[in-house]
Amino acid sequence: MSTLQLTYFDIDGGRAEPARLALHIGGIAFEDKRFAFPEFAELRKSTPFGQVPTLHVDGVLVTQSDAITRYAGKLAGLYPTDPFQALLCDEVLTAVEDANIKLGTSFGLTGDALKEARTALVNGPLPLYLGWLQTQLQAHGGAFFADNRLTVADLKVFVFVRGLRSGRLDHVPLDLVERVAPALVGYLERIAQTPAIAQYYARSKA
């Protein structure tokens, strides 16, 4: 078994969280290297694009969050082997990452600039992506996004929607998901009850 070190901010959420969850669910040993926000300025100098997460696989540095998530999913048996189901999984991963990128443009802003940027997201891109996710979920049976089982696509959506409803994003209404994609609320709650996921978050609060 490869030696894995996953490096990301010391938060429950964000771009490394789907990979963390996948590895935990799969019982895959890895070093969960977390760091505080003030450390990022120095740490980013050692990354190819000044970004995290990064994954070291037997000492080899790998970047790009979705690539890391897919790899973790394959190790944990949470990525489809059927090419079409893998395509559906990748479609969701990429769509959510697009939404993350749009949301990410508002980080670092303050005051009126932050309010204006987040309000624009709430009035446009976020409902668009949430509505599309709801449509895709329902089109594929309403339980999972691909392969009729839990995959990393579900973990990516779970982390994204959970973040929107966390209350940590100023100027993003807590009821946004309920208003524009209510099916995702029940979906989120059901995924959260997956035993390994419930255990993961119970442990993180201990």
Q: Clarify whether residues 115 and 163 are in a common domain.
A: yes
Residue 199 belongs to a domain? no
Beta strands in the chain (DSSP E): 4-9, 31-35, 54-57, 60-62
Q: Clarify whether residues 63 and 125 are in a common domain.
A: no
Q: Clarify whether residues 93 and 168 are in a common domain.
A: yes
Tell me the mean pLDDT in the region 26-52: 96
Residue 206 belongs to a domain? no
CATH of the domain at 24: 3.40.30.10
Q: Clarify whether residues 185 and 116 are in a common domain.
A: yes
Residue 26 belongs to a domain? yes
% of the chain at pLDDT higher than 70: 99
Q: Clarify whether residues 92 and 182 are in a common domain.
A: yes
**What's the pLDDT score for residue 204?**
60
Among 45, 77, 109, which residue terminates a domain?
77
Average pLDDT, the chain: 96
**What's the pLDDT score for residue 19?**
98
Q: Clarify whether residues 152 and 66 are in a common domain.
A: no
| One-letter amino acid for residue 43 of the chain | L
How many domains is the chain built from?
Answer: 2
206 pLDDT above the threshold of 80:
no
Show the domain range for 63. 4-77
122 pLDDT above the threshold of 80:
yes
> At 31, which helix (H) or strand (E)?
strand 31-35
Q: Clarify whether residues 174 and 98 are in a common domain.
A: yes
135 pLDDT above the threshold of 60:
yes
Q: Residues with Cβ < 8 Å from 14, sequence gap 6 or more?
A: 8, 53, 159, 163
2 pLDDT above the threshold of 60:
yes
Q: Clarify whether residues 71 and 103 are in a common domain.
A: no
Among 77, 94, 129, which residue terminates a domain?
77
